[in-house]
Amino acid sequence: MDRSVEAKIADELAIRELVARYCHGIAERDDKAWAETWAVDGEWKVLGQEVRGRDAILALYQKLVSTLRWVVQVASDGVIELAGDVATGRWQILETIQAKDGRALINVGRYRDRYRRDADGKWRFACREFRFSYSGPPDYSAESVPPEGWKAGS
């Protein structure tokens, strides 16, 4: 197999592992492991907020999960486009949540990512943007948000 093909396969697998480590960090409430998935100067766009820098990203994340007993996020259907030491990705996600008050919730949405291979050779999130399709009770009784603005390649 051509070395460049092998390198591309290795890079795509490393990015898929990055997304998995992000999800597992959430489920296991391992803030350190979750934060390590971000570039030091990374950017997170979530719930109408934008934060830059790993420390600010971690602080916002901790605030968001502070009202939850637990949350499990599953990312699927990842599409990754490599360009050397940078890449982009698109993911569908489903979160199953129990709030501290006992309410069950689910979130359905999409991530649009930019990844970067850092100086230590690890792939990390340079930017991660999340958009909801649905957030509410598991019976889907809350109003959903039709997908907007994100088409293949955007």
Per-residue pLDDT of 109-142, as tens digits, reads 999 999 999 999 999 999 999 998 999 999 999 9
Per-residue pLDDT of 19-37, as tens digits, reads 999 999 999 999 999 999 9
Cα–Cα separations (whole angstroms), residue 136 to 43, 71, 92: 26, 14, 17
Q: What whole-number distance in Å separates Cα of residue 54 and Cα of residue 133?
A: 26
CATH classification (class only), 3-136: alpha beta
Burial 19-39 (b: 16+ CB within 10 A, else e): beebbbbbeeeeeeebbbbbb
